[in-house]
Amino acid sequence: RPVPEVPVRTRKGRPTMPNDQAAAPPALVAAPGPAEHAGGCPVRESRTPDGTMGWVVSGFAEVRDVLTDPRLTSAPSTLAADGSPDPRIAGLTALGLPPETHHYFLNAIVDLDPPRHTRLRRLVSHEFTARRIQLLAPSIELITDRLLDELPDHRDEFGVVDLVEHFAYPLPVAVICELVGVPEPDRHLWSDWSRNLTAGHTERLRTATPALVRHVRELIDRRRAEPGNDLISGMLQARDDSANVGPDSGPDGGPSNAAMSEDEMVSMTLILVLAGHETTAHLIANGTLALLTHPDQLALLHQDRTLLPHAVEELLRWCGPVPSARLRYADRDLVLRGVHIRRGEAVHPHLDAANLDLRHHDRAKRLDLTRKRAAQADHHLSFGYGIHFCLGAALARLEAAIAFGRLLDRYPGLALAADPGTLIPGDRPVGWELNHLPLRLGRI
């Protein structure tokens, strides 16, 4: 990933069953979890691999504070000394992204601070409202059903199918293509690019990335000539009225700076793949594994499908796919919960540990699909919090609800075909990132 990660102490864990014990996902076991901050240490010193000082933040309230603290910047380049290179460039180069494409990633919405972030977010947010996303439901159902229909064909000689490869992974990228307005025959460009990123195929990315950028520009040209009902058409039409006043106004007071530039549209579409593909894929895979290792909870869902939206929230909390938000950097010397943090030091908000904070949730380690919650923002921080709250949250929620619902309808006898402990890759410091989820489909 473009920014160096702060290492945390690791200990391997495995899902426990049945659910009458306090079942802790490995993410909790590995992260500086509730046990540690119950001991009074929700802000702990750590170091990045390059030796830079950093701080791990792990309590629910503390992570929420960090994600809304204006003294912490998401754009480390603003802190770099004049003339020194942006620290993220080395990461992008290591990924295999060619230099001429770096600016799309360096100016990604998630790495911007206000006012640039505010303007860009305002220009796209109407495309991601729950009501707008709900219009995609029929297409998501169609894509989901098609993939589920094909599952039996992918069984090996032992009758086992890999849910990650044949369902969890292809579904979200197809949905993003639907959202963006990518025609069917071109969709392989997007899934190949994403797969190359995941697999670390740097050589392929060197040619595939400029090709994808050219492809997005062609889509923009096409939609400029013939607007449709998709994200690209929406971005082309978007105007930020608030930008018409103040220093960003055009010379005639008109909306010259209000519309999105073509570079901004390209950056946004590439970031959607980065932000929305693997995350959603891992939620589907993690959630399926969690349900199959907690038969009591699975039975609840089989009895009552109206539980699905709650189930998605609880799965996001218990085995959310994004263990930590992006690093934030102190833009001045500051004090956070009594801890002195110096300008330039990194702060690492641990979402998974926050979600399992015993001070915030009763029996936090327990997966409980019927868990009561006062408000969504109090249930979990898996979509982050504050100005960078996940833009695709409504889409991820809808997609996960459709995926789990249809999967259980279609294959009620679904069963794990491997010891769950062997499925959690051990080379990752925190969180679950299943590479495979071997399943038997049951009687079909």
DSSP bridge pairs for 44: 56
Smaller CB distance to ligand HEM: residue 34 or 321? Answer: 321
* Residues that contact ligand HEM, how many (by CB under 6 A): 27
Q: Which residues contact 385 (CB under 8 A, 6 or more apart)?
A: 63, 64, 67, 68, 377
Cβ count near 72 (within 10 Å): 23
Query: Which residue's beta carbon is nearest to the bound ligand HEM?
Result: 392
> Which range, of 156-164, 187-195, 198-206, 317-325, touches ligand HEM by CB under 6 A?
317-325
Q: And the tokens for 99?
A: 């230099």
Angle at 273 between CA 346 and CA 256, to 5 degrees: 85
235 binds ligand HEM (CB under 6 A): no
97 binds ligand HEM (CB under 6 A): no
Smaller CB distance to ligand HEM: residue 109 or 197? Answer: 109
Smaller CB distance to ligand HEM: residue 54 or 384? Answer: 384
109 binds ligand HEM (CB under 6 A): yes
Residue from 33, 87, 96, 392 in contact with ligand HEM (CB under 6 A): 392
User: Residue 329, SS3?
Assistant: strand
Residue from 44, 388, 398, 434 in contact with ligand HEM (CB under 6 A): 388
By residue count, the chain amounts to 444
Of residues 112 through 131, those in contact with ligand HEM by CB under 6 A are 121
Of residues 255 through 284, those in contact with ligand HEM by CB under 6 A are 271-272, 275-276, 279-280, 283
The least distance separating ligand HEM from the CB of residue 419, rounded to whole angstroms, comes to 26
73 binds ligand HEM (CB under 6 A): no
Report whether 324 contacts 350 (CB < 8 A): yes
The least distance separating ligand HEM from the CB of residue 397, rounded to whole angstroms, comes to 8
Widest CA span of the chain, in angstroms? 70
140 binds ligand HEM (CB under 6 A): no
The least distance separating ligand HEM from the CB of residue 118, rounded to whole angstroms, comes to 9
Of residues 176 through 195, those in contact with ligand HEM by CB under 6 A are 176
Q: And the tokens for 410?
A: 């279609």
DSSP classification of residue 109: G
Q: What is the rounded CA–CA span in Å between residue 409 and residue 310?
A: 17
Pick the closest to residue 292 from 129, 411, 172 (CA basis): 411
The least distance separating ligand HEM from the CB of residue 116, rounded to whole angstroms, comes to 11
Report whether 291 contacts 312 (CB < 8 A): no
Phi, psi of 322, rounded to the nearest 5 degrees: -115, 95
Q: And the tokens for 350?
A: 């641990």
110 binds ligand HEM (CB under 6 A): yes
Q: Please return the burial class of 257, using the count of CB atoms within 10 Å of its CB with bins 0-12, 13-18 and 19+.
A: middle
Residue from 42, 59, 170, 384 in contact with ligand HEM (CB under 6 A): 384
325 binds ligand HEM (CB under 6 A): yes
The kind and range of the H/E element at 56 are: strand 53-57
DSSP bridge pairs for 73: 329
Q: Which residues contact 38 (CB under 8 A, 6 or more apart)?
A: 358, 359
> Which range, of 19-27, 139-147, 383-391, 404-412, touches ligand HEM by CB under 6 A?
383-391
> Which range, of 76-84, 99-107, 319-327, 403-411, touches ligand HEM by CB under 6 A?
319-327
Residue from 173, 291, 322, 364 in contact with ligand HEM (CB under 6 A): 322
321 binds ligand HEM (CB under 6 A): yes
Residue from 219, 390, 403, 441 in contact with ligand HEM (CB under 6 A): 390
Smaller CB distance to ligand HEM: residue 191 or 280? Answer: 280
Smaller CB distance to ligand HEM: residue 296 or 378? Answer: 378
Smaller CB distance to ligand HEM: residue 96 or 392? Answer: 392
The least distance separating ligand HEM from the CB of residue 53, rounded to whole angstroms, comes to 20
Cβ count near 333 (within 10 Å): 12
User: Residue 114, SS3?
Assistant: coil
The kind and range of the H/E element at 391 are: none
Contact characters 28-67, ligand HEM, x per CB under 6 A: ---------------------------------------x
Q: Please return the burial class of 129, using the count of CB atoms within 10 Å of its CB with bins 0-12, 13-18 and 19+.
A: exposed
Angle at 410 between CA 404 and CA 416, to 5 degrees: 70
Binding site for ligand HEM (CB under 6 A): 67, 109-110, 121, 176, 271-272, 275-276, 279-280, 283, 320-322, 325-326, 351, 382-384, 388, 390-392, 395-396
